[in-house]
Amino acid sequence: MHRLQGTISDMVKDASQGISFVCNNIAEYGGDPNRIYLMGQSAGAHISACALLDQAIKESDESESTSWSVSQIKAYFGLSGGYNLFNLVDHFHSRGLYRSIFLSIMEGEQSLKQFSPELMVQDPSITNAIPFLPRIILFHGTADCSIPFEARFESPLK
Helical axes 8-25 vs 43-60, angle rounded to 10°: 70
pLDDT for 63 equals 77
Question: Domain locations in the chain?
Answer: 36-151
Q: Give me the active site residues, please.
A: 42, 144
pLDDT at 146 over 90: no
**In the predicted model, what is the mean pLDDT of residues 15-31?**
97
**In the predicted model, what is the mean pLDDT of residues 52-70?**
91
What span, in angstroms and rounded, lies between the C-alpha atoms of 83 and 133? 15
How open is the CA angle 141-55-48, to the nearest 5 degrees?
Answer: 25
Stated length of the chain: 158
What span, in angstroms and rounded, lies between the C-alpha atoms of 47 and 102? 14
**In the predicted model, what is the mean pLDDT of residues 126-134?**
96
The distance of Cα 29 from the centroid of its chain, to the nearest Å, equals 26
Quick one: pLDDT band at residue 157, thresholds 50, 70, 90?
A: very low
Closest CA to 42 of 95, 5, 120, 2: 95
pLDDT for 2 equals 53
